[in-house]
Homo-oligomer: A and B are copies of this chain.
Amino acid sequence: MSQTVDPCFEKRLAEAAARLETGLSDALSGTAFLVAGAPERLLAAMRHGALDGGKRLRPFLVEESARLFGVEASRAAPVAQALELVHCYSLVHDDLPAMDDDDLRRGRPTVHRAYDEATAILAGDALLTLAFGLIADGAAPGEADARLTLIRLLSREAGAAGMAGGQALDLAAETATLDEVEIARMQAMKTGALIAFAAEAGAILAGASPADRQALRRFGEIVGLAFQLADDLLDETADAATLGKAAGKDASRGKKTLPALRGIDWTRAELDRLVAEAEGLLEPFGERAATLRETARFVARRSR
């Protein structure tokens, strides 16, 4: 398995992030139908929680999985934006004092620190609410069924059986010790579900075959596993300056991660294995899947 990376990849990722940023900023402007008339302070808190954020991996996966089936980025944009809003709302709520109680996120004050707790709860609620509106808005002729499928699936992956459920299990882990199987289940729900959805979403939008849709979903699940492992490894090895948030936080709360249980060498080998599996899943798509392959490598490499 090659660890070399296409020099254009990070440029492509950054361009997609910039497009996403513009789209989200438009969706959160005071003139957008879905939020026009919102109280200014609430809208500002929503923007604080959603804009200027991270690498935007999930929307990038939506765009690239759509492109794999010939769907252009502009058609995938509402779904990409919606998914990122769901991710952002979850960060706003996870940071709350009753949850992870974090003061910093990407080096900036969290929403409840920059505003207040009630506003952060409502801003998260409103971001989640907006996400579903974006997918429902502006469907092209013939696209309505795919949009409904995406909403239904996002509801499952983001809800009690997916991300929100995973966060509930993660919080429970502060007082109970999870074994490896339970950790894997928690992480598959908390982090994996949205990433798997991202990779599957493009195939759904394109009306791809069930087999192709399944391959993309499995690819997304593996990328999600690699993402979480790399993140936990980073938490084991890096300091706060690199992370933009408190390092070693999971460990200090008694939460076990796989890198903590299995060691750094095992984790690096497992990351290599996951990348190889992800690449194998994309083989039938040939060169068209080059960027998705790079994405898997990129995600695993974050920890190095």
B151 with A130: CB separation less than 8 A: no
Contacting A137 at CB < 8 Å: which of B89, B152, B160, B172? B152
Name A160's contact: one of B38, B117, B151, B160 (CB within 8 Å): B38
A39-47, A53-61, A208-216, A240-248: which one contacts chain B? A39-47
Q: Are B129 and A165 in contact (CB under 8 A)?
A: no
Q: Give the segment of A141-149, A222-230, A264-272 that binds chain B.
A: A141-149
Tally A residues with Cβ within 8 Å of B.
58
Contact of A144 (CB < 8 Å), options: B124, B130, B148, B160 = B148
Q: Which of A116, A133, A168 has the most CB of B within 10 A?
A: A168
Q: Which residues of B contact A251 (CB under 8 A)?
A: none
- A126 lies within 8 A of B42 (CB): no
Pairwise interchain contact A121-B93, C-beta atoms closer than 8 A: yes
Q: Are B160 and A133 in contact (CB under 8 A)?
A: no
Pick from A28-36, A69-77, A294-302 the stretch touching chain B: A28-36
Q: Identify which of residues 113-149 in chain A touch chain B, using a CB-to-CB cut-off of 8 Å.
A: 116-119, 121-122, 124-126, 128-130, 132-137, 139, 144-145, 147-149
Q: Is A155 an interface residue (CB 8 A)?
A: yes
A68-99 vs B, CB cutoff 8 Å, 1 = contact: the mask equals 00000000000000000000011001001011
Contact in complex: B99, A155 (CB < 8 Å): no
Say which residue of B90, B99, B129, B161 sits within 8 Å of A128 (CB atoms). B129
The answer to whether A133 and B148 touch (CB under 8 A), given A98-B121, A121-B93, A165-B37, is: no
Q: With A125-B128, A125-B164, A133-B154 given, name 13 new contacts (CB 8 A).
A: A34-B152, A36-B161, A39-B169, A42-B168, A96-B118, A119-B168, A121-B121, A122-B168, A125-B159, A126-B165, A134-B155, A135-B151, A136-B151
Q: Chain A: residues with CB nearer than 8 A to chain B? A: 33-39, 41-43, 46, 89-90, 93, 96, 98-99, 116-119, 121-122, 124-126, 128-130, 132-137, 139, 144-145, 147-149, 151-152, 154-156, 158-161, 164-165, 167-169, 171-172, 189
Query: What are 29 A-B contacts with C-beta separation under 8 Å?
Result: A34-B156, A34-B159, A36-B161, A37-B165, A38-B160, A38-B161, A39-B169, A41-B172, A42-B164, A42-B165, A90-B125, A98-B116, A99-B118, A119-B168, A125-B128, A125-B159, A125-B164, A126-B165, A128-B128, A128-B129, A129-B158, A130-B155, A130-B159, A132-B132, A132-B151, A133-B156, A137-B152, A144-B148, A151-B151
